[in-house]
Amino acid sequence: MTTKEHTPVSSVAAEPDRLLPADPGTRQIGQDLLAEVEHFPILSPHGHVPAEWIADDVPFPDPTALLVTPDHYVTRLIHASGVPLGELGFGEQGPEASLEGWRRFAEAWPLFDGTASGYWLRSEFEHVFGLPAEMVESFGPENADAVYGAIAAKLAEPGFRPRKLFEDFNIEVLATTDDPLDSLEAHERLAKDETFRGRVVPTFRPDAYINVAHPEWAERVERLTAEASGGVAGFAGYLRALENRRRYFVEHGAVSADHGVRTPLTLRLEPGEAEALFEKARRGEATGADRDAFEAHMMWEMAGMSVEDGLVMTIHPG
């Protein structure tokens, strides 16, 4: 009688060269470059970690609240397959809702094959949470509850509090992504906290105040000008308010302004033309062409402000 040998499961996350080029010569260059820098501290210029997580340093509530709900790359992919956002941890809170959200995530797991998010999540499962390769590679509806339980147990450990992870990942600087009207109170607390040795800086992200197609654009602009224009009305007040809030961000450590735009188009309009488009948009009468022209002009305005205040202008179109 013969017995079949058990072949250990090898996870994609265990392959150290998984993200390097396939060509041997090019791969060797990548390996050499990686060896030079992989032990350096992390300087993260762009991220979506709320500063409150680090300032408050409270345990993460559950796997869904950490890995699914706040990650727009994860939720958008699952939502695009027909899963309502309400089933991914949005809205209703509590252990049962979180577990159900995780089960929807597990059902959608095949969608992540070959994506950057899939690589990141596999690496987190195996290298951060210490899940066995067999569990990672078989992740799906059948073992969703077991994976959830294993990660939840880790999150309850002191070593998985935000500040300890910040230290263990050797992060020196972390830039967050922030609404122009954010008080930046959490950033201020961290800057004054002598027990925290890292650096968390805000990033000015004005998309919802520039894209007139945003459903809350008019409401946000009204609030922006009311709070930050210094009493100046109209388009001039709108620009003044953006300048003032950018200055506030600089005073709180910001080094960049981040812009998510539909296209990288820039356009310099005459002041009267820009103001006419602005007022048209406020009345809800802007066409698609108006929206594109206004956004393109505002990219020109933002570039000018960056020249003045020194915030590095980063753009991701599409």
DSSP codes, 21-59: -SSHHHHHHHHHHHHHHTTSPEEESS----HHHHHH-PP
Q: Which domains does the chain have, with CATH numbers?
A: 45-162 (1.10.2020.10), 204-317 (no CATH)
Sorted by sequence, the CB contacts under 8 Å of residue 135 that are 6+ apart come out as 125, 143, 146, 147, 150
The SS3 assignment for 231 reads: coil
The SS3 assignment for 313 reads: strand
Residue range 87-108, pLDDT digits in tens? 888 876 788 999 999 999 999 9
Residue range 163-210, pLDDT digits in tens? 999 999 999 999 999 999 999 999 999 999 999 999 999 999 999 999
206-217 in b/e form (b: 16+ CB < 10 A) is bbbbbbbeeeeb
pLDDT exceeds 90 at position 212: yes
pLDDT exceeds 70 at position 9: no
| pLDDT reported for residue 314 | 95
Q: Report the Cα 119 to chain-centroid distance in Å.
A: 16
Q: How confident is the model at residue 1 (pLDDT cuts 50, 70, 90)?
A: very low
CA distances from 198 to 85, 130, 169, 250 (A): 34, 25, 11, 18
Residue 184 region by backbone torsions, left for phi larger than 0, else alpha for psi between -120 and 50, else beta: left
CA distance 191 to 197: 9
Instruction: For the chain, give percent helix, strand, coil, nearest 5.
Output: 55, 10, 40
Tell me how many degrees the CA angle 185-186-191 measures, rounded to the nearest 5: 95
The overall average pLDDT reported for the chain is 93
CA distance 101 to 134: 23
CA distance 312 to 289: 28
Residue range 16-68, pLDDT digits in tens? 888 899 999 999 999 999 999 999 999 999 988 999 999 999 999 999 999 99
Sorted by sequence, the CB contacts under 8 Å of residue 140 that are 6+ apart come out as 106, 107, 109, 110
